[in-house]
């Protein structure tokens, strides 16, 4: 990433889940922190989400899921991203995700899972830290 | 009959005494011990005074503003003896996995003293998809029970006589289909339709800005709501065809005032639409029911419930010229708040639910669902559900708050807050009216923006520690003890469902299916009440997805207006 360029984030809601309070708060907080945020709206299929991430050329994909369908939908998303060679995108997940499911999600390519109690500041710092260190590695 | 409670000259004297107390006693005290905060705000932003006295409710007219329980404006309750006669209905919302599993949970709840059933459907069902639809992958039976055909509904209520229970169904877009299935199961059990009792949520308006589970655009959505109201008024008279819901508005991020105001605005819209259909107000209004959330700020919540009854009674009497008392009644179901439950130190949620239950009881709710303490982590486990139900039973039988009517009525603080809540609601209702009503307000993103702003503000308040949430931004511990094993839905539910559906589609009479769908198409085109055609269709084993698919084809899809 060129310095001075805005971090681009896609906030997405996979599956039929309609609990969008958290996703909207996150989208707004990242935007207030100076990032370029695109929110997909509800009920996106893995294909739609990956397509949007590709089209929008995002640095970060933030997935919010509270429906319990994360073990089906999140690996489907990371699988499609791998197929399309999008390994440079930082993929994060948040919502109601039991601790014991996290290792398997990480194996599938989810960089980190943010549960209840995460502050928006923590999230902003985490994303900045990751993207900036990646940018340094590329230099 | 005007019946002011406080004489003006006495109130003036009292105000003087109060000023003296502020200047002489309070000031000195505060110099030594400053108050904990500069101002104390409720969630709706009402500034709580240090102390409430008669001068804060000096304009109170007992008969006009409070009345006796069972009398207009019902501030003190709908029924003459309140909970002294009959306790509220303890109605636990349940549903997961297959219809068999949920049927077992229902029977467990009935054994444990639950007095009404309440069905949670899974996301595919809620959105009108069958379990075998591609979008249902990974979601079948996860957030609720999967019901794709009348067969599933039969299984769900197997061994439960429908004339002996009342059943609430949290279903909106496809409400007509699920109600039709319930009626069909009743027909099968030999229960006459006029003896079925229960509720379909069937409140589409709030879906467009709060729960966001929409199937069709607003106009046909409201048409279907009114179809159900009309059909039930004529044929299923003990059914509550709609439960006008603030719960989801609140959980989406609204504060208590917004919750109440937006819900009442929706209610007004339904009444107007039913009148336009040609129904008479006193025919259908007695069966309109409401659904609210109960949060932790007990005083504000009690004020909200009391104000809700008073405002609705005024709207029904003064604006819609209702004559029957029952048409003015706001009967309400209350659920404790999911959003206030914390994943941290989950056992603390028992205390939160207790406070919220007390607020609901002190507010005069007709039925209550208490959330389980493990719900911030997973769907509730059986043991946690039992504790939630026990919480209601303790409130009912041990706390004493149900033994006298409206015990907080007359509290200077509660009455002042009730007034403030009412005033705030009228303000919002005027504003929404000025926008042309609820549908234009949805289309302009008004509700969505209001809710998003409140929810963001709340999050920031927690992060700044302006609000303390125990275990979240203060009072941490390493010991995250959970005394139950979390529920995991059996993953085979999906397979079982899909196989069952396949079998059903193979074995049913294809000709009957085709005819039923043909009739439904004609009825949509002729724009008549769809309930009879839908009942016929479900009896011909047409599935939920097939019926909703046809309706989506004819009415068009809906795409959410995104407001962050």
Instruction: Give yes or no for residue B355 having a pLDDT over 50.
Output: yes
Model confidence band, residue B95 (pLDDT cutoffs 50, 70, 90): confident
Q: Taking the domains of chain B in order of start, what are their residue ranges?
A: 8-63, 67-463
Is the minimum CB–CB distance between A73 and chain B shorter than 8 Å?
A: yes
* Ramachandran sector of residue B36 (left: φ over 0; alpha: ψ -120 to 50; beta: rest): alpha
What does DSSP assign to residue B121?
B
Rg over alpha carbons for chain B, rounded to the nearest Å, is: 24
Model confidence band, residue B366 (pLDDT cutoffs 50, 70, 90): very high
Q: What was the pLDDT predicted at A1?
A: 47
Interface test with B, best of A9, A13, A14, A20 (most B CBs within 10 A): A20
pLDDT digits (tens, 9 = 90+) for B436-453: 999 999 999 999 999 999
In what side-by-side order are the strands of the sheet with A60-65? A36-39, A8-12, A60-65, A90-95, A112-114
Rg over alpha carbons for chain A, rounded to the nearest Å, is: 14
**CB contact (8 A) between residue B560 and residue A42:** yes
Asked if residues B551 and B216 have their Cβ atoms less than 8 Å apart, the reply is yes
Provide mean pLDDT across the span B399-426: 98
Provide mean pLDDT across the span B148-174: 95
> Which residue has tokens 């990032």?
A35
Query: Looking at domain A8-138, which of 1.10.630.10, 3.30.465.10, 3.30.56.10, 3.40.50.280 is its CATH number?
Result: 3.40.50.280
**CB contact (8 A) between residue A121 and residue B343:** no
pLDDT digits (tens, 9 = 90+) for B199-257: 999 999 999 999 888 889 999 999 999 999 999 999 999 999 999 999 999 999 999 99
**CB contact (8 A) between residue B342 and residue A39:** no
The residue count for chain A: 139
Model confidence band, residue A132 (pLDDT cutoffs 50, 70, 90): confident
Is the minimum CB–CB distance between A27 and chain B shorter than 8 Å?
A: yes
**Rounded mean pLDDT of chain B?**
95
> Which residue has tokens 């699920």?
B178
Model confidence band, residue B320 (pLDDT cutoffs 50, 70, 90): very high
Before B73, cis peptide (omega within 30)?
yes
Phi and psi (nearest 5°) for B445?
A: 80, 15
Q: Give the number of other CB atoms < 10 A from CB of residue B484.
A: 20
pLDDT digits (tens, 9 = 90+) for A57-89: 999 999 999 988 899 999 999 999 999 999 999
Q: What was the pLDDT predicted at A2?
A: 47
Closest CA to B120 of B112, B111, B109: B109
Instruction: Give yes or no for residue B35 having a pLDDT over 80.
Output: yes
Provide mean pLDDT across the span A106-118: 94
Is the minimum CB–CB distance between A45 and chain B shorter than 8 Å?
A: yes
Q: What was the pLDDT predicted at B197?
A: 94
pLDDT digits (tens, 9 = 90+) for A5-49: 899 999 999 999 889 999 999 999 999 999 999 999 998 999 999
Is the minimum CB–CB distance between A128 and chain B shorter than 8 Å?
A: no
Phi and psi (nearest 5°) for B550?
A: -65, -45
Q: How far is CA B140 from the centre of its chain?
A: 24
Instruction: Give yes or no for residue A3 having a pLDDT over 70.
Output: no
Residues in chain B whose beta carbon is closer than 8 A to a beta carbon of chain A? 123-124, 126-127, 129, 135-139, 142-143, 211-213, 251-253, 339, 342-344, 376-379, 452, 455-456, 459-460, 463, 472, 486, 489, 559-560, 562, 564
The DSSP result for A1-65, as a single string, is --TTPPPEEEEE-BSS----HHHHHHHHHHHHTT-EEEE--S-B-HHHHHHHHHHTT-SEEEEEE
Provide the ipTM: 0.89
pLDDT digits (tens, 9 = 90+) for B46-76: 999 999 999 999 999 999 999 999 999 999 9
Cα separation of B388 and B277, whole Å? 42
Identify all chain B residues contacting A42, using CB atoms and an 8 Å cutoff.
212, 560
Instruction: Give yes or no for residue B109 having a pLDDT over 70.
Output: yes
Q: What was the pLDDT predicted at B564?
A: 82
Identify all chain B residues contacting A97, using CB atoms and an 8 Å cutoff.
none
Name the residue in chain A with its Cα closest to that of B469.
Answer: A117
Alpha-helix residue ranges (DSSP H) falling in B320-445: 325-328, 349-363, 382-397, 412-434, 438-443
Cross-chain CB nearest to B211 (options A18, A43, A120) = A18
Cα separation of B144 and A15, whole Å? 15
CA dihedral B284, B125, A69, B247 (to 10 degrees): 0
Q: Do strands B47-48 and B89-94 pair parallel, antiparallel, or not at all (unpaired)?
A: unpaired
Asked if residues B156 and B147 have their Cβ atoms less than 8 Å apart, the reply is yes
Instruction: Give yes or no for residue B419 having a pLDDT over 90.
Output: yes
What is each CA distance from B378 to A67, B229, B374, B375, B484, in whole angstroms? 9, 35, 6, 5, 11
Instruction: Give yes or no for residue B262 having a pLDDT over 50.
Output: yes
Asked if residues B341 and B469 have their Cβ atoms less than 8 Å apart, the reply is no
pLDDT digits (tens, 9 = 90+) for B471-495: 999 999 988 888 888 888 777 889 9
Closest CA to B372 of B385, B360, B383: B385
Provide mean pLDDT across the span B274-279: 97
Identify all chain B residues contacting A28, using CB atoms and an 8 Å cutoff.
452, 456, 564
A78 to chain B, minimum CA–CA distance in Å?
Answer: 16
Name the residue in chain B with its Cα closest to that of A37.
Answer: B564
Cross-chain CB nearest to B139 (options A16, A98, A119) = A16
* Percent of chain B surpassing pLDDT 90: 87
Name the residue in chain A with its Cα closest to that of B134.
Answer: A45
Q: Which residue has the higher pLDDT, A139 or B126?
A: B126
Q: Taking the domains of chain A in order of start, what are their residue ranges?
A: 8-138
**CB contact (8 A) between residue B459 and residue A72:** no
Q: Name every residue whose Cβ is closer than 8 Å to that of residue A65 and which is 6 or more positions away in sequence.
A: A13, A14, A15, A17, A73, A74, A93, A94, A95, A96, A97
Q: What was the pLDDT predicted at B1?
A: 54
Cα separation of B99 and B150, whole Å? 11
The residue count for chain B: 564
**CB contact (8 A) between residue B378 and residue A69:** no
B488 to chain A, minimum CA–CA distance in Å?
Answer: 9
Instruction: Give yes or no for residue B525 having a pLDDT over 90.
Output: yes
Cα separation of B489 and B140, whole Å? 10
Q: What was the pLDDT predicted at B479?
A: 81
Instruction: Give yes or no for residue B413 having a pLDDT over 90.
Output: yes
Q: What was the pLDDT predicted at A134?
A: 81
Superfamily, domain B67-463: Methylmalonyl-CoA mutase (3.20.20.240)
Q: Name every residue whose Cβ is closer than 8 Å to that of residue B297 and which is 6 or more positions away in sequence.
A: B42, B43, B256
What does DSSP assign to residue B2?
-
A/B interface, count of CB pairs below 8 Å: 92
Q: What was the pLDDT predicted at B488?
A: 80
């Amino acid at each position: 990433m060129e310095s001075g360029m805005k971090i681009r984030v896609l906030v997405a809601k996979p599956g039929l889940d309609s609990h969008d309070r958290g996703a909207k708060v996150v989208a707004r907080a990242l935007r207030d922190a100076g990032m370029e945020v695109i929110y997909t709206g509800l009920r996106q299929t893995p294909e739609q989400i990956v397509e949007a991430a590709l089209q929008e050329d995002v640095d970060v994909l933030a997935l919010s899921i509270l429906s319990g369908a994360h073990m089906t939908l999140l690996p489907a998303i990371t699988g499609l991203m791998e197929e399309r060679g999008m390994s440079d995108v930082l993929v994060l997940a948040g919502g109601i995700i039991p601790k014991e499911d996290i290792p398997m999600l990480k194996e599938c390519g989810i960089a980190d899972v943010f549960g209840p109690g995460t502050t928006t500041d923590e999230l902003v710092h985490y994303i900045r830290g990751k993207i900036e260190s990646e940018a340094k590695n590329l230099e | 009959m005007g019946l002011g409670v406080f004489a003006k000259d006495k109130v003036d004297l009292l105000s003087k005494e109060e000023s003296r107390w502020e200047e002489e006693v309070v000031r000195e005290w505060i110099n030594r011990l400053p108050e904990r905060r500069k101002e104390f705000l409720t969630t709706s932003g009402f500034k709580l005074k240090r102390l409430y006295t008669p001068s804060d409710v000096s304009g109170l007219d007992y008969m006009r503003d409070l009345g006796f329980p069972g009398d207009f404006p019902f501030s003190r309750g709908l029924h003459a003896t309140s909970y002294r006669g009959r306790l509220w209905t303890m109605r636990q919302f349940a549903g997961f996995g297959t219809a068999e599993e949920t049927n077992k949970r229902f029977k467990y709840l009935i054994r444990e003293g639950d007095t009404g059933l309440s069905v949670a459907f899974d996301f595919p069902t809620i959105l009108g998809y069958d379990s075998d639809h591609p979008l249902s992958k990974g979601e079948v039976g996860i957030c609720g029970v999967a019901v794709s055909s009348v067969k599933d509904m039969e299984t769900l209520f197997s061994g439960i006589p429908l004339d002996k229970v009342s059943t609430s169904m949290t279903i909106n877009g496809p409400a007509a289909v699920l109600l039709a299935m319930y009626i069909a199961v009743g027909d099968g059990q030999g229960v006459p339709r006029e003896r079925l009792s229960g509720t379909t949520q069937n409140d589409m308006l709030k879906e467009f800005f709060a729960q966001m589970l929409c199937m069709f655009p607003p106009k046909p959505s409201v048409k279907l709501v009114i179809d159900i109201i009309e059909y039930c008024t004529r044929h299923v008279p003990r059914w509550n065809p709609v439960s006008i819901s603030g719960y989801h508005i609140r959980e989406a991020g609204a504060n208590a005032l917004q919750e109440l105001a937006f819900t009442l605005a929706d209610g007004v819209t339904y009444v107007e639409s039913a009148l336009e259909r040609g129904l008479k107000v006193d025919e259908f209004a007695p069966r309109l029911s409401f659904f609210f959330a109960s949060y932790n700020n007990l005083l504000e919540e009690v004020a909200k419930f009391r104000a809700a009854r008073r405002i609705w009674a005024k709207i029904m009497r003064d604006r819609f010229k209702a004559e029957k008392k029952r048409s003015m009644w706001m009967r309400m179901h209350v659920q404790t708040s999911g959003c206030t439950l914390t994943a941290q130190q989950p056992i603390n949620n028992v205390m939160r639910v207790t406070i919220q239950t007390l607020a609901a009881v002190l507010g005069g709710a007709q039925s209550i669902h208490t959330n389980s303490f493990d719900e911030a982590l997973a769907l509730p486990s059986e043991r946690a559900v039992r504790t939630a139900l026990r919480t209601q039973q303790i409130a009912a039988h041990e706390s004493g708050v149900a033994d006298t009517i409206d015990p907080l009525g007359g509290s200077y603080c509660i009455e002042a807050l009730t007034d403030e809540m009412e005033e705030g609601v009228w303000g919002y209702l005027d504003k929404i009216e000025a926008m042309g009503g609820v549908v234009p307000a949805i289309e302009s993103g008004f509700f969505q923006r209001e809710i998003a702003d409140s929810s963001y503000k709340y999050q920031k308040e927690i992060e700044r520690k302006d609000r303390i949430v125990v275990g979240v931004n203060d009072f941490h511990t390493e010991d995250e003890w959970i005394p139950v094993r979390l529920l995991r839905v059996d993953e085979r539910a999906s397979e079982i469902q899909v196989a069952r559906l396949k079998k059903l589609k193979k074995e049913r009479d294809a000709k009957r299916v085709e005819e039923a769908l043909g009739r439904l198409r004609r009825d949509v085109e002729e724009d008549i009440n769809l309930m009879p055609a839908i009942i016929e269709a479900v009896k011909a084993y047409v599935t939920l997805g097939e019926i909703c698919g046809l309706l989506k084809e004819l009415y068009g899809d809906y795409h959410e207006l995104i407001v962050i």
